[in-house]
């Protein structure tokens, strides 16, 4: 299952919001520095989807705020 994700790093709280078009907007406390935001993204999404972090992969947008992830 592929999913579009927009990441908002450096916020005061961590949460996931689903927009009308199905895009996930993920707010993270971690800053976008040295891959910290991507690590935090995996943690938040694993809780959201109820799967292990190893089952989530960033398919596109590794260095971007707009990403495509795949949950296997």
Question: What gap in Å lies between CA 18 and CA 32, rounded to an integer?
Answer: 21
- pLDDT of amino acid 1: 83
- pLDDT of amino acid 23: 96
9 CB-near residues (< 8 Å, 6+ apart): 28, 30, 31, 32, 37, 40, 65
pLDDT tens by residue, the chain, 72 residues:
899 999 999 999 999 999 999 999 999 999 999 999 999 999 999 999 999 999 999 999 999 999 999 999
What's the whole-model pTM score? 0.92
């Amino acid at each position: 299952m592929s999913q579009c994700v927009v990441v908002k790093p450096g916020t005061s709280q961590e949460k996931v919001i689903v927009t009308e078009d199905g895009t996930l907007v993920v707010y993270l406390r971690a800053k976008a520095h040295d891959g910290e935001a991507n690590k935090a993204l995996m943690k938040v999404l694993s809780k959201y989807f109820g799967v292990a972090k190893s089952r989530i992969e960033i398919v596109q947008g590794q260095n971007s705020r707009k990403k495509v992830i795949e949950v296997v």
